[in-house]
Amino acid sequence: MNSQTKITVLLVDDHAIVREGYRSLISKQADLQVIAEAANGTDAYRLYKECQPDVVITDLTMPGLSGLEVISRIKHRDANAKILVFSMHQNPSFALQTCRAGALGYVTKSSAPDVLLYAIREVYAGRHILSTDIAQALALEKLCGEAIALDSLTAREFEILRLLVEAKSPDDIAKILNISPKTVGNCHYLIKRKLSVSSDIELTRLAIKLNVISLLELGTPVETNI
């Protein structure tokens, strides 16, 4: 296959060594080519507009704009964009929310390299793809009612929840997501109502319990006995 028919890829990950691993793997494939890399969400969105890659491969947790917000912005600009999430997060709720935002695939970083390569080609073809561990986790979640509440959140509400439990202020969240503080406040209220919690402390405890965020990510001790 010549270079003109290769599937072009934009890599988005804040760890340079991870991107190097992606690039090394992809460069060995005759039909794939990395044409741009980004270390944060802002650069990812800019490079998408500049390079128009066939497939975007993005992590979720990055400085500034998260992968979820990057997906939303790219899809808002280009409804036909083909996006694959490659993340350490094995929580099925993350996969569900990225699909709602517009991603076609979700592969965990614990997957074998061949799984990632297969997923790139499936996403390029316009097909949905989940790594086996995420597919199984989604199936099991349906048997457990506790986590179903998270599924009631929209992608925007899920992203605001993540930022709230990271102790971001409404003004900070508004700036990150390019929305008004009033919208943040309204979403904050809806999130608590949907998750049946009455305070931000309960919201944080639930977020930790359902693996939306870990104690290590919070960086401060939180009493989690419920």
Total-model pTM: 0.73
* Tokens matching residue 4: 């003109």
For the chain, domains (ranges, CATH) are 3-141 (3.40.50.2300), 145-218 (1.10.10.10)
Residue found by looking up tokens 């005759």 in the block: 30
Q: E-strand spans in 116-189? A: 129-130
The percentage of residues in the chain with a pLDDT greater than 90, rounded to a whole number, is: 56
Supply the pLDDT for residue 218: 45
Mean pLDDT of the chain: 86
**Listing from the earlier edge strand, what are the strands of the sheet with 32-38?**
32-38, 7-12, 55-58, 83-87, 105-108, 129-130
Confidence of residue 208 (pLDDT cuts 50, 70, 90): confident
Question: pLDDT tens, 165-200?
Answer: 888 899 999 998 889 999 999 999 999 988 888 888
**Distance in angstroms (rounded) separating the CA atoms of residues 129 and 85:** 10
Q: E-strand spans in the chain? A: 7-12, 32-38, 55-58, 83-87, 105-108, 129-130
Question: pLDDT tens, 155-173?
Answer: 889 889 988 988 889 999 9
Question: pLDDT tens, 51-64?
Answer: 999 999 999 988 87
- When comparing pLDDT for 223 and 65, which is higher? 65
Supply the pLDDT for residue 202: 87
- Phi, psi angles (nearest 5°) of residue 23: -60, -40
DSSP strand pairing (83-87 vs 105-108): parallel
Confidence of residue 144 (pLDDT cuts 50, 70, 90): low
Supply the pLDDT for residue 7: 96
